[in-house]
Chain A
């Protein structure tokens, strides 16, 4: 497989803080690759280094074989970068923003229209509107159009769906999978685990390090404990009592249930304990592991 992005032992400090700590990573051509981790894990720093906007302290990185430090100018025309913070011109209209970004890269809106058509059709009714006056979902669509306007071969998307409603998120990811079909390599960071599972591979990041790099399914398969779910009438009381039980190893909220693992699998004893604590309508059963459970286990809540 062709390597599109190669990161070799990259370290980056901000004063005393080590934002990236000796990171190595390879992303293949046409891959949809996800970076998952808390704020401060180093995701944005990695994006900035790969987008040639920040110099690493140590280590090297190549985009399609080209060094990101030595030949940064060559790289800039082949990548599209959508930063975490909305960075378009708020006082330019939708159309003016697009024309501006196209002209910066020496192209036109018409030339690459096919690539953005899918997303741009949502924006068409508002093409006269100032970017600053768009809703969150529309801003994000415009930012993606601007990142695509010069037909890059790689897309860097730093938390593109933060603050975006579930319907728009779904549309956004459908767009990504279409771009992937066209052969684009996509590196995307996200705090949403339901998005992480849509990636070909993901890297779980924490404190400047990669804790795990694998396909979502492989990561799920590596979960080495039996996972259970439990609910009762008073969920907050249940959470507190579960954490006090010596039978319970890890317990956390998970939608309408709590998820937990046993220190020792003694179901009857646990149910008796919860009843004695006064819990009502107890429902308890084994449950399937999701990528979110893996994340929570690795980061150890």
Chain B
């Protein structure tokens, strides 16, 4: 199978503190890869390196066919990114946000127009095209943010806690968008604190103190550790943490 993310010995140190410590893993095309870990385990730091936003101290990573160290700009053009904190401009309209991001990702103008219509229709947002994003309910914003992040059909989309604070109904609608994108061949790299969502992933890695402590399918992880739920898997692994922050 085609490999879309390949990480070898990836490390990031801040002084003597190793935030990310020798990560090694591969993610295949169309895979939904869950990136779990407690607050402070190093997930965000690792993700920033994979997105070409931060330089590794040592080791390497290839994302969407490009080396994050040598070609960070190429990496950025070939991925989508969505975080819970920032993804859309609150003071732009729905349609303006789509146009802005489509332009940034270099989609040709005539295509932007037709694809925007198709997206608004798919999300049932045609009535809200002129609504300011700040006026949308959180769940709608997140669906729009995700759709904008995959609008240019990237090879990989990185989702940093995309469903934080969202109710069970909206979270499920959101995950159906993820399933759909993965079925179209987009690789999904996602962090979450919801363990039922961890179950929706094809494979999971669990970070503890900057290292990957376990990596397997949800089913295999549960069987190996002899527990019934992902919640227990998380707690057992997180307990190994020595650093407190």
Contacts and interface: CB of A to CB of B under 8 A. Distances in A.
Given A39-B137, A40-B138, A256-B218, A163 B161 contact: yes
B167 A191 contact: yes
Contacts of B40: 135, 137
Given A166-B193, A193-B168, A39 B138 contact: yes
A166 B195 contact: yes
Given A39-B139, A164-B39, A253-B200, A191 B179 contact: no
B196 A252 contact: no
Interface string A34-50: 00111110000000000
A170 interface: yes
Given A39-B167, A166-B234, A166-B238, A137 B196 contact: no
A6 interface: no
Most central of B138, B164, B193, B200 by chain A CB within 10 Å? B193
Interface string A157-193: 0010011111111100000000000000000000111
B38 interface: yes
A126 B172 contact: no
A165 B39 contact: yes
B80 interface: no
A38 B245 contact: no
Contacts of A163: 84, 161, 164-165, 193
A38 B139 contact: yes
Given A165-B193, A166-B193, A239-B176, 5 more contacts: A39-B167, A135-B245, A137-B39, A163-B164, A253-B175
B183 interface: yes
Nearest to B196: A255
Interface residues of A, number: 41
Contacts of B39: 135-138, 164-165, 168
B115 interface: no
Contacts of B96: none
Interface stretch (A18-26, A222-230, A291-299): A291-299
Given A165-B193, A255-B230, A296 B137 contact: no
B38 A165 contact: yes
B70 interface: no
Nearest to B222: A256
Interface in B194-245: 194-196, 199-200, 218-219, 229-231, 234-235, 238-239, 244-245
A167 B167 contact: no
Contacts, number: 106
B165 A301 contact: no
Nearest to A162: B165
Interface string B156-175: 00000100111111101101
Contacts of B38: 137, 165, 167-168
A287 to B, nearest CB: 13
B34 interface: no
Nearest to A126: B245
25 contacts: A38-B170, A39-B137, A39-B166, A39-B167, A40-B137, A84-B165, A122-B244, A125-B244, A126-B245, A135-B39, A137-B39, A162-B165, A163-B164, A163-B193, A165-B38, A166-B231, A166-B238, A167-B235, A168-B38, A169-B193, A191-B167, A235-B179, A252-B172, A301-B169, A301-B172
Contact of A295 (B168, B179, B180, B183): B168
Given A39-B138, A166-B231, A256-B218, A296 B168 contact: yes
B56 interface: no
A167 B139 contact: no
A292 B235 CA distance: 21
A86 to B, nearest CB: 11
A254 interface: yes
Contacts of A168: 38-39
B72 interface: no
A126 B39 CA distance: 15
A38 B137 CA distance: 9
Interface string A95-139: 000000000000000000000000000100110000000111110
A193 B168 CA distance: 8
Contacts of A192: 194
A236 interface: yes
Interface string A255-291: 1100000000000000000000000000000000000
Interface string B102-127: 00000000000000000000000000
